[in-house]
C-alpha cells in the first residue's frame, strides 16, 4: 500500500477488522475527525464483522452508498464473487500471492481509480 501512496496523492488508512472499518467511515470515536474515504479496499476474511457484512452495511446506508468498494481478497470462489456483486461491490480482485505482483496490482488499481475513473465530489458523499 505504501507504493500506491508514493505514486498517487492519497492517504491510506488501514483498519484491522470489519467493525473498525464501519467505525472509521461512520466517524465514530476515535475517528471523529477523519476524512470520508474516496474508495474502500475490503477483504472478505475480517475479524468481528466479515467483509460481506461490512459491504452490506455500507451499501444499505444512503450516507455511504456512493463510496466505491473494491473487494480485495484471497478468495477465487465463484460464490464469493457473485455475493460481493449482489451486495453492491464495485469491483472484485483476487489478491496476488507475491509481493511484486501485489505492488503492480495496486499501482494498476491506483491508475484506474485516480487517473481514469471519475469519483463523485466530496460534497455529494
Let me know: does 53 contact 74? Beta carbons within 8 Å.
no
Express each pLDDT in 9-38 by its tens digit. 677 789 999 999 999 999 999 999 999 888
pLDDT at 60 over 70: yes
Cell numbers that stand for 38 in this block: 474516496
Local structure of residue 48 (DSSP, 8 states): S
Q: H or E stretch including 20?
A: helix 18-26
What pTM, to 2 d.p., does this model score? 0.83
Which is nearest to 84 in space by CA: 97, 95, 69, 99?
69
Q: What's the CA gap between 4 and 30, in Å, rounded?
A: 25
Kindly indicate the confidence band of residue 125, based on its pLDDT and cuts at 50, 70 and 90.
very low
CA pair distance 60, 87, nearest whole angstrom = 9
Amino acid at each position: 500500500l505504501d507504493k500506491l501512496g508514493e505514486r498517487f496523492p492519497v492517504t491510506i488508512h488501514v483498519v484491522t477488522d470489519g467493525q473498525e472499518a464501519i467505525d472509521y467511515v461512520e466517524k465514530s470515536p476515535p475517528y471523529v475527525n477523519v476524512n470520508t474515504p474516496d474508495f474502500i479496499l475490503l477483504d472478505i476474511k475480517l475479524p468481528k464483522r466479515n467483509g460481506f457484512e461490512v459491504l452490506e452495511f455500507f451499501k444499505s446506508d444512503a450516507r455511504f452508498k456512493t463510496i466505491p468498494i473494491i473487494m480485495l481478497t484471497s478468495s477465487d470462489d465463484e460464490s464469493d464473487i457473485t455475493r460481493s456483486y449482489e451486495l453492491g461491490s464495485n469491483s472484485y480482485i483476487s489478491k496476488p500471492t507475491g509481493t511484486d505482483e501485489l505492488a503492480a496490482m495496486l499501482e494498476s488499481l491506483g491508475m484506474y481509480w485516480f487517473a481514469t475513473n471519475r469519483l463523485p465530489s466530496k460534497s455529494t458523499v
